[in-house]
Structure 1
Amino acid sequence: MRAIMATRFGAPDVLDLVELPTPDPGPGEVRIAVAAAGMGWLDARIRSGDGPDVFAVKPPYIPGGAVAGTVDAVGAGVDDHWLGTRVLAQAGSGYGGGYADTAIAATDNLFPVPDGLGLHSALALLDDGSTAVALLEKTPVRAGERVLVAPGVGGLGNLLVQLARAEGAQVIAAVRGPEKLAIAQDLGADAVDYSAPDWGTQVHDLTGNHGVDVVFDGLGGDVGAAAVALLADGGRFSGYGMASGAETTIGDADRQRLTVVDMAQLPEFWPETPRRVKHVLAEAAAGRLQPVVGRTYPLADAAEAHADIEARRFVGKSLLVP
């Protein structure tokens, strides 16, 4: 099989295309002919050697995990009805194994893709969709509230925008660049460019100088800190990422006036992931949720894809296509 191997930690050029023996599924497993593999900022941080401890790996390893494709072989004890089924899956056990044209997955990590839903759209929901639902369960929003999502059109952010709008909230998407502003507006959000010096003032204007009630922060760093300052007293802050390279720092005074949850919430979500994945797949199949799929890259161009992720040259969910 063809796969991308991270030969060591470092820059994107540590990702090499290699040929490996095609694996056979073991007991309780299936083999998937991969149609697309998901990528994100977490993959890039792990590859750089700066990933979270919970996703610890040692090179050489195959990055990624989320895949979409068709089951082409089953292991012992697995019902033959899976053969030929279009599925989403987390490859392997733990992190790794997704950047390949073939993946092995346990049956308890499989999700059938509903009829009428494309594999690329479905894959954009596997990790990001379930996390978006979980974030909103942990930090609910109500009709009429003002919600800031940063970034607003990333793989997870665009889903948060749609789900919060479905609850009747006014959603402001913080993005960067005119292309992303247009996409956010197409999703029905108000949009501001956080690279503009006055973006905070724009947010205040959009909320009638009230400030925002809820912030969902996947950027961290200076943008996250500025978002905290935009929260009205009694507001809620939900941190889920640090694409800037650093988590948002929140001082004691802000913690006293706000309800704050940070990235420590993420592992709490995992036990309920199957329920949430099934929910977002059903919503997408019914046309109520439309994930933004950005650029797709050939498997051999994984290094270019990682460089684009690190430079934030992407919208929606980026995919590798074997």
Structure 2
Amino acid sequence: MREFGGPEVLVAGEAPDPVAGPGQVVVEVEFANITFVETQYRATGAGPFPARPPLVPGNGVGGAVAAVGPGVDPALIGRRVVSGTGGSGGYAERVAVAADGLVAVPAGLAMDTAVALLADGRTALSLVRAAAPRPGDRVLVEAAAGGVGTLLVQLAGAAGATVVAAVGGPRKADVARGLGAAVVVDYRQPDWSERVREAVGGLDVVFDGVGGAIGRSAFELVERGGRMYSYGLAGGSWADVPDEAAAAREVTIRRGPPGNPARLLALTADALAEAEAGRLRPLIGQRFPLERAADAHRAIETRATVGKTLLTVHHP
């Protein structure tokens, strides 16, 4: 990626093999993670990633440790791991990452499942633990057919909540129903919030992965003492909810990422353990070979995807 712009700025090419520096390992990548925020970063440079072009994009990978740098235990070689990359380097056959940022993949878990949970699993677990939905709570999940949304539907349902899924289009509605959502609405329709009101009355919890006007409409459905957790900007901005409006109804609002690096590692490990135990199942809706990263970004941006999108790099 030599400049910011459309998906076409992602071009396959050759780069020198990475070398593990002190405290690092080299991972032979099997699958690379893609998140919506990476498409925003590619387009405009907006987002949490510090690097600037030219660069190899990609913020999460899974594979086997191929080499270790000075000060790193050689016993790690061959271990199956997932890891963040610090914001760049992931769309590649090999990447050097910090050894203290590795999360071991349980023996019984497929690597593609682990990578699908690397970012989305920790986000979903963090949100559900913070919101603590109770049996009978009415919980709205926006973008319920997306990577995080599909996990939130499962987790909220397992907690005994009545899950209301807001999605864009019939295909995504079918996905949400298949995951156990009790009520499904299409938030592309102008009366979607009225349909929620008719179905369940108000809401106790909102998981806002869209923001913007949809997030604001969702806030209006939250009953006194409810909770709203905003974690995504698919709509281009946080939901415009004035503090005084939230205070007037005693609605708790939280925005932003799930925590510091140590907490993120712990949440990722927990997500992988939940998946190994069969209690969490990521929906991998589409896979693209590494050289088609531009097509993967294009599909995400045009809202043509469901669940998680992965880049397939190596087949062990």
Please give the TM-score of this superposition, normalised by the length of structure 2: 0.94
C-alpha distance in 2 between matches for 1:124 and 1:256:
39
User: Residue type matched to 2:223 in 1?
Assistant: A
Residue segments in structure 2 that go unaligned for 5+ positions in a row: none
- Tell me the equivalent position of 2:185: 192
Contact 2:6 2:43 in 1 (8 A): yes
- Three-state SS of the structure 2 residue aligned to 1:216 is strand
- Tell me the equivalent position of 2:20: 25
1:112-171 deviation digits (Å, cap 9, x = unpaired): 111221111111111111111112233221111000010112111111111111211111
C-alpha distance in 2 between matches for 1:267 and 1:232:
24
User: Residue type matched to 1:171 in 2?
Assistant: V
C-alpha distance in 1 between matches for 2:55 and 2:249:
44
2:302 aligned with 1:311, yes or no?
yes
Q: For residues 268 and 276 of structure 1, do their structure 2 counterparts lie closer, same or farther at Cα, with a shift above 3 Å needed?
A: closer
C-alpha distance in 2 between matches for 1:67 and 1:284:
17
C-alpha distance in 2 between matches for 1:271 and 1:84:
24
- Tell me the equivalent position of 1:38: 33
- Three-state SS of the structure 2 residue aligned to 1:18 is coil
- Tell me the equivalent position of 2:71: 77
User: Residue type matched to 2:17 in 1?
Assistant: T
User: Residue type matched to 1:257 in 2?
Assistant: R
- Three-state SS of the structure 2 residue aligned to 1:84 is coil
- Tell me the equivalent position of 2:278: 287
1:220-272 deviation digits (Å, cap 9, x = unpaired): 11211111111122221111111111221113324421434343x41635431
1:190-240 deviation digits (Å, cap 9, x = unpaired): 221111232212212221x2x111101011112111111111222211111
C-alpha distance in 2 between matches for 1:163 and 1:187:
10
Q: For residues 154 and 177 of structure 1, do their structure 2 counterparts lie closer, same or farther at Cα, with a shift above 3 Å needed?
A: same
C-alpha distance in 2 between matches for 1:146 and 1:314:
26
Q: 4+ runs of 1 displaced by more than 6 Å?
A: none
Residue segments in structure 1 that go unaligned for 5+ positions in a row: 1-5
Q: Which moved more, 1:71-80 or 1:272-281?
A: 71-80
C-alpha distance in 1 between matches for 2:245 and 2:18:
55
Name the count of aligned residue pairs. 311
- Tell me the equivalent position of 2:293: 302
Identity %: 43
TM-superposed deviation, 1:290: 0.5
- Three-state SS of the structure 1 residue aligned to 2:88 is coil
- Structure 2 counterpart of 1:11, from 6, 10, 25: 6
User: Residue type matched to 1:28 in 2?
Assistant: G
Contact 1:33 1:72 in 2 (8 A): yes
- Tell me the equivalent position of 2:82: 88
C-alpha distance in 1 between matches for 2:30 and 2:305:
20
C-alpha distance in 2 between matches for 1:18 and 1:213:
49
C-alpha distance in 2 between matches for 1:270 and 1:96:
16
C-alpha distance in 2 between matches for 1:180 and 1:307:
18
- How is 1:1-322 mapped onto 2 (pairs within 5 angstroms)? 6-52=1-47, 54-91=48-85, 94-190=86-182, 191-207=184-200, 209=201, 211-251=202-242, 252-263=244-255, 265-266=256-257, 268-322=259-313
Contact 1:134 1:269 in 2 (8 A): no
User: Residue type matched to 2:29 in 1?
Assistant: V
Contact 1:70 1:84 in 2 (8 A): yes
C-alpha distance in 1 between matches for 2:94 and 2:55:
15
- Three-state SS of the structure 2 residue aligned to 1:268 is coil
User: Residue type matched to 1:86 in 2?
Assistant: R
C-alpha distance in 1 between matches for 2:154 and 2:271:
12
Contact 1:175 1:192 in 2 (8 A): yes
C-alpha distance in 2 between matches for 1:319 and 1:15:
15
